Amino acid sequence: MARNAYTLDGVPLVHPQLKYYPVQGTGIRVLPAKAMPSIGAPGSDGERFLPGAIYAPGSVKISMFVKGATHEELMTNLEFLNGLFLQRHKALELRHDYNIAGTNSRHAFVTFMTGTEPKLMNQNTQAVVDFIGTIPGVFWRSLNTIDVQSPTTTTTATEIELSALSGGNAPITDALIRIKGGFGGYQLWDSTTGHSLSVNMSLTSSQWIIIDTVKWTGSVVSTDTWEGGTRVDQFISSSRGGGPMLTFEPQISGGALKYFMKHQATNPVSPSVIIRAKKSFL
């Protein structure tokens, strides 16, 4: 049986005295479905494939064994779990530890919408109950944020591997991008999709621009920071019509899933870019 070491909202789902714990039937996670866009052409067989299908929310089922010395204690433990899983004021962080040491882990934010009626056993002192969760943000992520530093940007569009993010298998849709001047303009692309992001302004060598791809914002700062600054949203443009300004999509390269980016600058004076993100997983 797979090791299902979960922590929900900071609470380990294996109780120290084994009053409750996940049992067989607990899923690793359910792969999210893709909503495939397609266009049929009159007089043509089949449909035309269109890239860029969006993912539906993911899901996970956790089956919990619960027990008590008495029926009263069983019900008390069940009530705690019901309250833990069915909180409604926030999405709950669900952490999955792949190894006992907890050094290889993923997490996602989950909302549990429903559960099954507890199946009572052993003179009503034990029960099994299933909790069905939805992952609105679709992807599981690494716990730690990673910074990927590029070489110096030149006037030639140069491809680099975002090697520190390799090992992921899903789109990275929430990267922070920080570009150091100087330059007269800057452009970068996701190599897999060809989508691009442009900075249509100049920066000196003592300035940085911080781009939040989710919020579609750009801020210029004069110190080595990731916060604050003067907003310059009007000078940032994207080839995408909606969603994040830029996503980084994995592709198969050398038999492994890897992420690649291209970048170039006009009138460069040793500029460079840092991509800040977490690994992303289906």
Show me where the domains of the chain are located: 5-138, 146-281
3-state secondary structure of 274: strand
Q: Provide the whole-model pTM.
A: 0.88
In contact, 215 and 245? CB cutoff 8 Å: no
Query: How far is Cα 169 from Cα 10, in angstroms, rounded to an integer?
Result: 26
Q: How far apart are alpha carbons 54 and 35 in whole angstroms?
A: 6
Indicate if the pLDDT at residue 2 is higher than 70. Answer: no
What integer pLDDT is reported at residue 1 of this predicted model?
34
Domain 5-138 listed as CATH 3.40.50.80 = no
| pLDDT band at residue 210 under the 50/70/90 scheme | very high
- pLDDT for 33 equals 87
Determine what percent of the chain is predicted with pLDDT higher than 70. Answer: 98
Q: In which band, very low, low, confident or very high, does the pLDDT at 95 lie, cut at 50, 70 and 90?
A: very high
What gap in Å lies between CA 130 and CA 135, rounded to an integer? 16
Judged by DSSP in three states, 198 sits in: strand
pLDDT for position 4: 62
In this predicted structure, the answer to whether residue 59 has a pLDDT above a threshold of 50 is: yes
Query: What gap in Å lies between CA 230 and CA 207, rounded to an integer?
Result: 11
- Identify the CATH class of 146-281: mainly beta
